[in-house]
Amino acid sequence: MLTIEEIYAKINPLPAMLSAKGRVSPELEVRIEANAGIGIMMSWKKPHVHNDWEKEYEYVSGEDFNDALHKTVKLINELPSAEQAKLQHFMGKLGKLIDAGREDGIAVDYMNPLLDTMKRLSENVITYKPESEPIPY
């Protein structure tokens, strides 16, 4: 059985790992739930918001602490890099802009450059292959 100090030692590097993936103000907590097991909740500020309450969340549960921790580290390692996350966020906004332009009947002359840009960005995302990162313990 792990002590509180051992649990802290294992979870303390995780916010830094999230920051390295471009997540802003990451927070992490361990939950022990009656009749449900152990879980790790991660949260971070949504990109391009100017308040502290709009966050994105990930929750991982496991049969025991080490199982939940291993799954959490795996999830963090599989997150896109900071650069890829920014690109994906931009593509989402650009996609919404294109959809709004179509709905509003914006002239093709204005839409074609946006569609070409989206196509090039999509091709870059499809060919992106992140490097596997080792588990830090």
Say if residue 38 is in the same domain as residue 90: no
Say if residue 43 is in the same domain as residue 105: no
CA 8/CA 2 separation, integer angstroms: 10
pLDDT tens column, 93-112: 888 888 888 888 877 777 77
CA 84/CA 23 separation, integer angstroms: 12
Say if residue 8 is in the same domain as residue 74: yes
Q: Which of 78, 95, 110 is the last residue of a domain?
A: 78
Here the tokens at position 63 are 């049969």
Dmax over CA atoms of the chain, in Å, equals: 66
pLDDT tens column, 71-81: 999 999 999 88
Say if residue 13 is in the same domain as residue 74: yes
Say if residue 118 is in the same domain as residue 69: no
Asked if residue 56 is part of any domain, the answer here is: yes
Q: Domain containing 64: what range?
A: 4-78
Helices vs strands, H then E, count in the chain: 5, 3
Closest CA to 44 of 78, 17, 65: 17
